[in-house]
Every structure is written in C-alpha cells, then in structure tokens.
Structure 1
Amino acid sequence: MGSTREKIAVDAMGGDYAPAEIVAGAIRASEELDIEILLVGDPHQIEAVLQNHPTSRKLEIVPAEDVISMHEEPLTSLRRKPKASINVAMDLVKNKRASGVVSAGHSGAAMAAGLLRLGRLKGIARPAIGAVFPTLMANKSVIVLDVGANVDCRPKYLEQFALMGKVYSQYALGVEDPKVGLLNIGEESCKGNDVALQTYQLLEENPHIPFIGNAEGRDVLSGQFDVIVCDGFVGNILLKFAEAIGDVLLQTMREELPYGLRGQLGTALLKPNLRRIKQRIDHAEHGGGLLLGVDGICIISHGSSQAPSIFNAIRLAKEAIDHQVLERIQTSYAQSQGQSVASVQSSTES
C-alpha cells in the first residue's frame, strides 16, 4: 500500500499577483513535489486560472468567501471575515485536513490567524518568523529570527527563538552542529542595550543552545553563524534591506554584463554561473519565512511573490513537515526545561 501524500493548503487569494501566480506556483509544486495541494479561495477565479494551465493532476479547491486585503487591520478583519481565505486555510490545518499553510497575503493577518486558529506550541511564549539568507560560503545558509512577528521582545523570547532556530537549522537545513549568534552592535559581551545584555547571559548559560557570541551586521552573511536571533523590528529591516541588495545586484548584472560585443559573448558563456548566482541571492528562490512556534506549519511569503517563489514556499513547507520540525521543537524545549514531552504538552502555560 502506497503512503498518503501530505496536503498543503495554499491561500490562492493572497498576494499582489493572486490568484494567477499563486495557482501557477501551486500547479508546479503539485507536479514536481510529492504532495497534494488544496487551493483556498474564490472557486470561479481559481477555475479560470486552472483552465489556462493544463495539468495531469487535479487540484482540489476549497471555497472561501472573503479575502483580507493589505490595507486592512489584521485582528479586526479576521474576526469580521471568518470565511476569509487565510482563516479557511488555517482551519484546514487545525482540523487535520492539511499539514501546512502557504500564504503571500497580508503577513500580519497570516501571523494572527496562525495564533488564533492553530495556537502556540506548548511552552513557547511567542512565535517568530524565520527567514533563510544566503552566505558567503557556498551551499551554506543562515536562518535569522525574528524577522517581523514581534516588534518588541523580552530576553526569554529571544532565548526561545534561538532554540527553535537551532532545531530548524539542524534538521531542515542539515547543519550537524549549528552555531547560534545574537545580533548586536559589537562582538563584546558588554555591548548592546539591556535586552541584549540579558539575552546574552541567558544564551550563554543555556546548555541546549550552541551560542558562540554576538554577531554584528557584517557577520550575518559571513557564514560564521548558522542561526542569528534578534527582535522582529530589527529583523524585518534586515530582511527587506537584504532583499533590496539582492535585487540591486541582479539588476546591475542584467544591465552591465551584456554591454558591448564582448559583454554579450561573455554573458552567453557565463549563463550557468549567472543562474547559480541568482539562486543564491534572489529572495524569490527561498520562498518565504517559516512561522515557528505555532502548532502547525505556516509559510509567510512576500506579498509580491510570483509563481517561482510560491513553488519554493510550498517546498519549504514540505521540508518542514518531512523533517518533523514542530515535533523536534517541542522535544528540544522539553529537554531544555528538564521535562518530558508529555508534561510540556499537558502544560497550560500562557
């Protein structure tokens, strides 16, 4: 008897290019990855897009009556629109009809829906969005968290971010011994504000976190660290700056490399190399950020995501599911507290 494929719910109505690009990315994922896709949204709009993309696999459509637009206030809109596509998608995970959610819609609404619909993993005080960045070292990435879920953080939250990031780096990114750093204004342990100083001490004293010290801004992409923790205010600025730098580099190469006859010939010869460069620095190749700490796999993609980014977001969700990231975070947290997993799961800590 063959194994049942995992199902991933995709918010087909979320994002600047929905539903056309979202559906196109989902179709590719259904064909290239061993998963089933549940397209959540307006059936008429989704069907119209599917007709333009003949595929051997039939994608299931789950109707949703509303969508939360980018300008709406998240919590109010989620309550006012219980049948919004992001709510319906989260409910599919909550009710075990899907194993994960991907959305390129309102990121605040996706985070809030994840918390309200799925709840937090037991013991985790705050969820965090983890984003994977390329580094100067080939085939090596760094996960930075939080990049937007929590503007203000207590030291306890950052300690838990480090624990979750370590688990993700180890099991999803395949780093045998992840090295954790705290984003700060200097390498010395005495640098930073009160939160940074207290967090440094917590990380240094926690035997379950392989903490190697502070990471300055220039260290983020060096490859020296596998996990870097910071509050969501700084992390979101860092994320968007890194995306802009990648866009600038790609655009510069497009403009400058083909210049003149030699440039045209050189560009033709360098095409395989340029393709690999794009894969390393283009944020679309990474798909989105994983909302770690909620009781379900949730990938939040950039609002401007197009089909390739949606495909990669679905791939990211599948990898998190396959590597049992949620279960491993729960186990790691229990071990850090000197408790059994069962006792953590039965805890009512808020």
Structure 2
Amino acid sequence: MSDLTLALDAMGGDFGPQVTVPASLQALERFPFLRLSIFGDQNAIKQYIPADFPHSNRLHIEHCSQIVTMNDRPLTAIRNRRESSMRKAIDMVQEGRASACVSAGNTGVLMAMAKLVLKTLPGIDRPALISTLPTLQNKPVYMLDLGANVSCDSDTLLQFAVMGSVVAQKINDINKPRISLLNVGEEAIKGNDVVKQTAELLKETCQLNYIGYIEGHQIFEGNTDVIVCDGFVGNISLKTTEGVANLLFEHLKQAANSSLLMRFLSFISTPFLKNVLCKVKPDQYNGASLLGLRGIVIKSHGNADQQAFFNAIKQAISEVEQRVPDRIQDSLESILLEKIC
C-alpha cells in the first residue's frame, strides 16, 4: 500500500516512552510503508532510539511541552493541555496529516479530546471503546463500551449496538451479527431500567439481530457477535478478566516451585498454559477503537508492554486500510433514521 502516517502519543500509559518508542521502532521495521510522528518530550523519546536505527527517515519527533496525566479531568485537560502530546496527536489527524492516532493515555481525556477535535459521525452522541475478545469457538466477539462512557441512557446503548453491528458485519464479514446486552441475568425481569429500556428498543429495531441478554460468565462462549454495555460495566469486566489471568499465571509460578515433580510437570505444561492464558489477557488484544468518530483513534491498554502497544499500532493500520469510519457512516445513517420497523 502507499505510505501511511500515524500520530502516536508517546507519553501516555504507565510506562510512556519506555514502551511506546520501542514499539514504534518495531512497527517501522515491520511495515515499510509506515511513517510515524511521535509526540512528547523529545529528550525522553530520543533516549530510546538507537543512533544507528535504519528507519529514522520515516520517524518524526514533535516536541510537546505538556503531558496528560492519569489524574487529569477531561474538562481541565481540554482547557489546559492544548500543547500536550495527546492533543497534538489528535490534532494531526484532524488536520489530515495523519490517518490515525494511537494513545495509551487517560481514557476519559482521550475520549473528550477526540470528540471535541474530530467530532462524531451523524447520529452518534458519544464515541464508544470497542475491542474484540477471544471465545471458546475460536472467533472474536466485539464488546462495547469498555470505559469511555461510565453512564449511558438507552438511546446511547442503542447507538453502541448499531456501531458494533456495523463493525462486525463490515470488518469480520458477519451477516446479521448477533447482538446481546450484558446483564445480571437472562430473564426479561432482570436488570435496571436502562437495560430493560434498551432491550425494548433493540427488539423494535428490525435492522438489528438482537438475541437477548447475556451474563458475565457467557462473554467468552462465542454464542454472540456483539456485546453491549455501558463503560462502567465493560471496563470492570475487562479488568476482571485481566486480574484472573494474572492470578492464574502466579499460581502456575508457585506450583512450579512447590516440588521437584511439580517443576517437571510445569516444565512440560507451562508453554501450553501460557499460550492459553495469554489469549484472555486484555493487553494482548488489538487496541480498542474509539468508535463513532470522524477519524480513527486507537486506545492502547494503560499498562501495555511493548508488544501490546505494537498490537495497538497494528490495529490502527488495519482500521485505516479497511476505512472503518467510512464504512460505518455508509451504513449508520440509514439504520438510525429508519430503525423502527
């Protein structure tokens, strides 16, 4: 493909340039068509770039005097962090100089800034974080929202369902993707008022293939294609999964050191078990996309390591190649305008 430019927020996440810069160099080595503009403290960035790096001609550093911290409130950051690495990376997308932005920074600020600068697609009130999760049926399930909107009304959740359905259909070529609402039970009487109201709206929307409620333990079964929830529930679900995976890793380590027999058994089984557990670690998935914007913004896991941030860069490249916002816009307006049968 022709040259593709991405804008990267080097200062976001728990580790900043220590992770984002090596991941960027890895991406430049992997994709010869890729050009990267890295935003942040140029001194912090340069210390992770070898003097003899062979692809420096495709790497541009843009110094930023400010950083968005994990404690910044969205409104405060919008007003006072206009020179931050996150804001400058988003601005580059809005100006048409980059095809997508990747950041591991503060989710709330990223969502607010992206919405302010890039705007949402027609018919969409709020962007939503969407990502794929692995399932027992060896096919991914899309889940949204994963943390961009901690409180949603039924109309917003309906919009999430529409966006998730369009992505699953257009990107994964799924005919009439099955949509489920994450709830505390499968019975119609279960759930809060917002969930119940959303269920009624989905039932009345003939263009969507709504199949009912799904419980937390069913997320990974693979019996649905899109799972819809608010960002509070989605983020907790995702991070609980991460915590369980980490717990199992630690138990494996402890068991391996308990006896000579266990060390032998661990030596044989650990590679297989690690491969299985890695599939449910959130930082191993592709980056989550802020869906519903007029541009592409990828949110990397906050404590992502180099490989995980590299995965987020790959996700950005994939969404650019597949023209995700254009494909959503092509389908979204007609669905929302004619949603009731």
Partner of 1:229: 228
Equivalent pairs counted in the alignment come to: 335
1:245-290 deviations in Å (ceiling 9; x for gaps): 1211222223324654444444444455235314312222114321
SS of the equivalent of 1:224 reads coil
Are the aligned partners of 2:241 and 2:281 in contact in 1 as well (CA < 8 Å)? Answer: no
Partner of 1:85: 85
Are the aligned partners of 1:167 and 1:325 in contact in 2 as well (CA < 8 Å)? Answer: no
- Determine the C-alpha separation between the residues in 1 that align with 2:173 and 2:272: 25
- Determine the C-alpha separation between the residues in 2 that align with 1:208 and 1:250: 43
Are the aligned partners of 2:111 and 2:290 in contact in 1 as well (CA < 8 Å)? Answer: yes
- Determine the C-alpha separation between the residues in 2 that align with 1:172 and 1:9: 23
Partner of 1:28: 26
The alpha carbon displacement at 1:338 in A equals 5.1
Partner of 1:345: none
TM-score, length-normalised on structure 2? 0.91
Are the aligned partners of 1:183 and 1:217 in contact in 2 as well (CA < 8 Å)? Answer: yes
Letter of the structure 1 residue corresponding to residue 288 of structure 2: G
When structure 1 is superposed on structure 2, of 164-173 and 295-304 the one drifting more is 164-173
**Identity of matched residues, %:** 37
Are the aligned partners of 1:208 and 1:336 in contact in 2 as well (CA < 8 Å)? Answer: yes
SS of the equivalent of 1:117 reads helix
Letter of the structure 1 residue corresponding to residue 96 of structure 2: K
Are the aligned partners of 1:78 and 1:84 in contact in 2 as well (CA < 8 Å)? Answer: no
1:5-32 deviations in Å (ceiling 9; x for gaps): 2211110011221111110111112222
Letter of the structure 2 residue corresponding to residue 206 of structure 1: T
The answer on 1:241 being equivalent to 2:229 is no
Partner of 1:4: 2
The alpha carbon displacement at 1:188 in A equals 2.5
1:218-237 deviations in Å (ceiling 9; x for gaps): 21121111111011121122
Note closer, same or farther for the CA distance 1:204–1:324 as it changes in structure 2 (3 Å cut).
Answer: same
Partner of 2:43: 44
Query: Any residues of structure 2 matched to 1:59-138 within 5 Å, and which?
Result: 59-137=59-137
Note closer, same or farther for the CA distance 1:217–1:88 as it changes in structure 2 (3 Å cut).
Answer: same
When structure 1 is superposed on structure 2, of 111-120 and 232-241 the one drifting more is 232-241
CA RMSD of aligned residues (A): 2.0
SS of the equivalent of 1:186 reads coil
Partner of 1:190: 189
When structure 1 is superposed on structure 2, of 38-47 and 86-95 the one drifting more is 38-47
Are the aligned partners of 1:246 and 1:283 in contact in 2 as well (CA < 8 Å)? Answer: no
SS of the equivalent of 2:125 reads coil
Partner of 1:347: none
1:180-239 deviations in Å (ceiling 9; x for gaps): 101112222333222112111111121221111111122112111111101112112212
TM-score, length-normalised on structure 1? 0.89
Query: Any residues of structure 2 matched to 1:189-338 within 5 Å, and which?
Result: 189-257=188-256, 259-270=258-269, 272-337=271-336
Structure 2 segments unaligned to the other structure (5+ residues):
none
- Determine the C-alpha separation between the residues in 1 that align with 2:175 and 2:313: 24
- Determine the C-alpha separation between the residues in 2 that align with 1:186 and 1:203: 17
- Determine the C-alpha separation between the residues in 2 that align with 1:78 and 1:19: 22
- Determine the C-alpha separation between the residues in 2 that align with 1:336 and 1:319: 25
The alpha carbon displacement at 1:85 in A equals 0.4
SS of the equivalent of 1:319 reads helix
- Determine the C-alpha separation between the residues in 1 that align with 2:337 and 2:237: 34
Are the aligned partners of 2:42 and 2:63 in contact in 1 as well (CA < 8 Å)? Answer: yes
- Determine the C-alpha separation between the residues in 1 that align with 2:238 and 2:281: 12
The alpha carbon displacement at 1:312 in A equals 0.8
When structure 1 is superposed on structure 2, of 306-315 and 60-69 the one drifting more is 60-69
Note closer, same or farther for the CA distance 1:177–1:263 as it changes in structure 2 (3 Å cut).
Answer: farther
Note closer, same or farther for the CA distance 1:44–1:241 as it changes in structure 2 (3 Å cut).
Answer: same
Letter of the structure 2 residue corresponding to residue 74 of structure 1: P
Are the aligned partners of 2:123 and 2:336 in contact in 1 as well (CA < 8 Å)? Answer: no
Are the aligned partners of 2:255 and 2:263 in contact in 1 as well (CA < 8 Å)? Answer: no
Structure 1 segments unaligned to the other structure (5+ residues):
340-350
